[in-house]
């Protein structure tokens, strides 16, 4: 699955308020609840899954990118939310640099291959410097979604 498969413009937060990875995870999960992708009563359990994964090793992969993720039986399809922080989020990233782009995604429990492929596709895309720069420079969520869609279409 690609970013374009997972995201719609409503699932993008163009200006994250978070200052650290835990706040970013909470803000993105809250956004999934707000957009109806996650049920409100499942919010805490889902946050627990993502934070447990994040505790084992930061998903701040470098280059200003964080990809928190997890699998849960509380969803039935891959869902995600994308956030951008202009000032940067302390994510305890591998390169010790702040994170500006955070892509949180969830995969249904037991879909290990889909989980790995989704993570690999997102990481590969966000590893592209021009793509990251375009997302960082975009004026709003709609523009960010357009950049995501047009970049995927080029492949």
Q: Pull the structure tokens for residue 17.
A: 């308020």
- Let me know how long the chain is: 155
Give yes or no: 117 in active site: no
Q: Which residue is catalytic, options 69, 115, 127, 151?
A: 69
Active-site residue numbers?
A: 69
């Amino acid at each position: 699955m690609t970013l374009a498969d997972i995201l719609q413009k409503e699932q993008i937060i163009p200006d994250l308020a978070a200052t650290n990875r835990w706040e970013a995870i909470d803000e993105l999960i809250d956004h999934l609840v707000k957009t109806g992708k996650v049920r409100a009563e499942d919010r805490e359990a889902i946050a627990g899954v993502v934070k447990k994964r994040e505790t084992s090793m930061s998903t701040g992969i470098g280059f200003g990118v964080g990809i928190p993720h997890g699998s849960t039986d509380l969803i039935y399809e891959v869902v995600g939310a994308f956030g951008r922080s202009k000032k940067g989020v302390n994510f305890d990233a591998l390169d010790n640099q702040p994170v500006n782009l955070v892509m949180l995604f969830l995969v249904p429990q037991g879909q290990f291959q889909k989980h790995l492929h989704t993570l690999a596709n997102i990481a590969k895309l966000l590893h592209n410097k021009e793509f990251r720069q375009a997302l960082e420079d975009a004026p709003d969520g709609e523009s960010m979604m357009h950049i995501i869609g047009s970049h995927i279409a080029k492949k």
